[in-house]
A = this chain, B = another copy of it.
Amino acid sequence: MRYELYYWPDIQGRGEFVRLALEDGGARYVDVARHAGGEDAMLALMDASRVARAPFAPPFLKAGRSLIGQTAAILLYLGPRHCLAPPSEAGRLWVHQLQLTLADLVAEAHDTHHPISGSLYYEDQRREAKRRSAHFVAERIPKFLGYFEDLLARQPRGVEYLAGRAATYADLSLFQVVAGLRYAFPNAMARMERRHRRVAALHDRVAARPRIAAYLASPRRLAFNTQDIFRHYPALDP
């Protein structure tokens, strides 16, 4: 089966968490909205008055006849099919729980530059963005990274991923979050990474996985940019 991924064509965004799982899982997929007419097709599928089980927002995945929206739900589906989730129900719930925690962090990272509304430009909420970012950097990044650092510190020797010896989609997502935070807040992250060495090592370990390394070097991997969820504005990272 060839999956169809629907996401905005010019950003990594939340779609990137799905792309990383598809790439690491060796799945066949087409990134629909990057092709001619694909963005219109994507928007048409989100019309809940016409489409059964229409998703609320991108990303969503077409898998055979199923249409699956919400990043974490897509990963819940893909995980066991592509060796990116543990076999037991308890293990899968744990990985899903980690993913949902990362999703919370991603939403907060977005709101650092859009604390008032997604319908306004950053320039129209710069003062609030500066205030929110200061709290995000001082309180939230350390809280989230500290949590993952603690989880990794408890792993027995030789267990190098969050949920065991095998990587799961939560590990791929933590890689992406670290990469995004480094891009958006390079100064803050340079200060903080000394205290989160295990998280940084996990980032590197994921980046070195053969399929991920190939993906990152390919044109399929878009660059971070200031239209994305993680954005670098020097004023927000003094």
Residues of chain A whose beta carbon lies under 8 Å from any beta carbon of chain B = 47-49, 52-57, 66, 68-70, 72-73, 76-77, 90, 93-94, 96-97, 100-101, 104, 107, 111, 115-117, 119-120, 128, 131-132, 135-136, 139, 144, 147, 150-151, 153-154
Contact A150 B117 (CB under 8 A): no
Please name the 7 residue pairs, one residue from A and one from B, whose CB atoms are nearest each other, closest first: A117-B135, A48-B150, A70-B100, A49-B150, A56-B101, A73-B97, A70-B97
- Report chain B residues within 8 Å CB of A151: 48, 54
Residue of B nearest to A125 (CB): B131
- Report chain B residues within 8 Å CB of A73: 93, 96-97, 100
- Report chain B residues within 8 Å CB of A135: 116-117, 119-120
Residue of B nearest to A91 (CB): B53
Q: From B68, B90, B120, B132, give the contact of A93 (CB < 8 A).
A: B68
Given A54-B150, A116-B128, A116-B135, 4 more pairs with CB closer than 8 A: A49-B154, A76-B93, A117-B135, A117-B136
Q: A94-B53, A96-B70, A97-B55 are in contact. Are A48 and B111 (CB under 8 A)?
A: no
- Report chain B residues within 8 Å CB of A115: 111, 115-116, 128, 132
Q: From B55, B111, B150, give the contact of A111 (CB < 8 A).
A: B111
Q: In the complex, A92→B72 CA distance in Å?
A: 13
Instruction: Tell me the smallest distance from the CB of A229 to a CB of chain B, in Å.
Output: 14
Q: In the complex, A131→B54 CA distance in Å?
A: 31
